[in-house]
Structure 1
Amino acid sequence: MNESNVTTNSFKAWFLAARPKTLTGAAVPVMIGIAAAIAQYGDTVRVGAAVLCMLFALVMQIDANFINDYFDFMKGTDDEKRLGPKRACAQGWITAAAMRLGLLYTTLLACAIGLPLIYYGGWEMILIGVACVVFCFLYTISFSYIGLGDVLVLVFFGLLPVCMTYWLVSPPTPLMSIPWQVITLSAACGLVIDTLLVVNNYRDIDNDRRAGKRTLIVRIGEHGGLTLYAILGFISTILALIGMTFLNWQDEQYAKLIILLYLPFHIVTFTEMRRIRKGAELNKVLGMTARNMLIYGILVTIGLLV
């Protein structure tokens, strides 16, 4: 959508603030969790739970985007030196007062969507939902400024959504019965999604230093950031291959090798990142990485379902 001539607080402004391109990161973990459950239980999976998990993840991602937009604007992090995609509050597309209401409504909507999951997972789902909302705020307000953003990505875009989705859509089983293969797949998912945060923070390293934002990339430096980006892609591929292979050992194992098709995309993107190194042109790498995440999720899903 064209970002020129955006009317303040219009539908177009809210659409841009929602950052629809980021929804891939919310959808992929749920996709993998559902696919793992189908691989084990076939058509006995609970479709209602699957739909609710996907809707909850998508709305929470939009909520996180609103929170990030608002609080970074209020802290002055999104100034004129920002290299990344334009932010709604900083550009004046949405007023601060309207954004406060927007993030309140999306938080309430996410809670309303997640509440019926109590039927599938018990009252413990309330604790999971509260944790998602609380850490959604803490990520922008605190954790991203002290270098813990990558840890939250691993947990809330990997371990938690994949494992919880798998458990909720599977026929009723004890929570502690989640197999190690699914936990491995969830860790792999969190690591591959973290590549998006790595390239985002790599691009913003100079601005984050000025703002006192001590991200992991600020701490390990540019060379360390490049190395981390490359390593994450390979580790997530290996872990996914292990998880898929042993989840259903009796299946045709050659189908699991489909995940290796992710590596050429990752290598090309890393090469481009290393070539560009600095500046707003790294937004191109951000887009390529988002595409790679979706490819990764599709490949894992196919490998589990074939």
Structure 2
Amino acid sequence: MATATQWVSGTRPRTLPNSIAPVLVGAGAAHHIDGFNLTWSLLALAVSVALQVGVNFANDYSDGIRGTDANRVGPFRLVGSGAATPKSVRTAAFAALAVAALAGLVLIVLTGRYWMVLFGAVCIAAAWFYTGGRKPYGYSGLGELAVFVFFGPAAVLGTLYVQTGEITGIGIGGAIAMGSFSTGVMIANSLRDIPTDIQAGKRTLSTTLGDKDSRRLYLALVAIPFLITLAIGLRVPLALTGFLALPLAVLGARRVAKGHKGHDLIPVLRDTGLAMLIWGLAIPTALILG
């Protein structure tokens, strides 16, 4: 039976900035046009984090029963390690997705944007079928695209729109930046797992592009948010504080550029995720104060 510490590890805490930062950016964009609501933002954050935890448990379950995690080099896996039964991890995934659904329904009722029930249903389905079901799209090279869409435009613009009913230029810029950061985390993860994914028959963008081009893509993705920082800074000069995230992004970029492999790439996930979180704190703070 898995310990409490192992269950916490199974949520993959290092990936949680992917779900927190986009909501912060969306809330900041809402505040910039005087549409911010604290309660609604907290509910959006609950939805995002619960979805992230749900998809992490779902991946642990699905990859574990397929044997993809048997020889994986990376964070602790509940099913792959044998610490927890597949059934218990699947139940944990469903529970987290149920929390996301409940928080989302409350948010929809409070805002009156009932059409977003469909939006929420798509997000939950995407979380499960990433590696779940008979034909998971995460095994077909579409995982990175989904990460960009759901942790970028969906999370940022969803948070902005549900509060204001509008989509703004700053919101779009923030969505692209968050999607780029999140996809960078994903590429760093799949770059590390190229050998084991090929062995397990799992197709990712990195197994398709290969090692060298995956590294180039990662470097491009982590550069994009800082170009957007300059663009937002033209309207809100205080947004240039987004460059506070640059040192952490550089730490990850150096490891990738120097050709590190296996365990040596694990810190890249942490550094990229933290860079994303710092950027996701700096930009909305600038939008509020600016």
Give the residue type in structure 2 aligned to 1:32. Answer: V
Could you tell me how far apart the structure 1 residues matched to 2:233 and 2:240 are? 9
Alignment check: 8 A CA contact 1:159 1:190 kept? yes
Alignment check: 8 A CA contact 1:230 1:267 kept? no
Alignment check: 8 A CA contact 2:157 2:171 kept? yes
Which of 66, 72, 76 is the equivalent residue of 2:63? 72
Could you tell me how far apart the structure 2 residues matched to 1:288 and 1:187 are? 19
1:298 aligned to 2:278?
no
Which residue matches 1:16? Answer: 9
Q: Any stretches of 5+ residues in structure 2 without a counterpart?
A: none
Alignment check: 8 A CA contact 2:25 2:156 kept? yes
Larger radius of gyration: 1
Give the residue type in structure 1 aligned to 2:5. Answer: K
1:261 positional shift: 3.2
Range moving further from structure 2, 12-21 or 129-138: 12-21
Which of 24, 27, 44 is the equivalent residue of 2:20? 27
Which residue matches 1:257? Answer: 240
Query: Partner of 2:131: helix, strand, or coil?
Result: helix
Could you tell me how far apart the structure 2 residues matched to 1:100 and 1:291 are? 28
* RMSD across aligned positions (CA): 1.7
1:209 aligned to 2:198?
yes
Q: Any stretches of 5+ residues in structure 1 without a counterpart?
A: 1-7
Identity fraction in percent: 31
**How many residue pairs were aligned?**
285
Which of 235, 240, 249 is the equivalent residue of 1:266? 249
Which residue matches 1:285? Answer: 268
Which of 115, 121, 130 is the equivalent residue of 1:130? 121
Alignment check: 8 A CA contact 2:251 2:268 kept? no
Distance verdict in 2 for CA 1:121–1:84, change over 3 Å: farther
Give the residue type in structure 2 aligned to 1:213. Answer: K
Which residue matches 1:152? Answer: 146
Give the residue type in structure 1 aligned to 2:212. Answer: H
Q: Structure 2 matches for 1:1-306, cutoff 5 A?
A: 8-41=1-34, 45-79=36-70, 81-119=71-109, 120-141=111-132, 142-170=136-164, 173=165, 177-242=166-231, 244-245=232-233, 249=235, 253-306=236-289
Give the residue type in structure 1 aligned to 2:260. Answer: R
Deviations 1:80-108 (CA, angstroms, capped at 9, x unpaired)? x2111120111122111212222222222
Could you tell me how far apart the structure 1 residues matched to 2:6 and 2:263 are? 22
Could you tell me how far apart the structure 1 residues matched to 2:130 and 2:230 are? 30
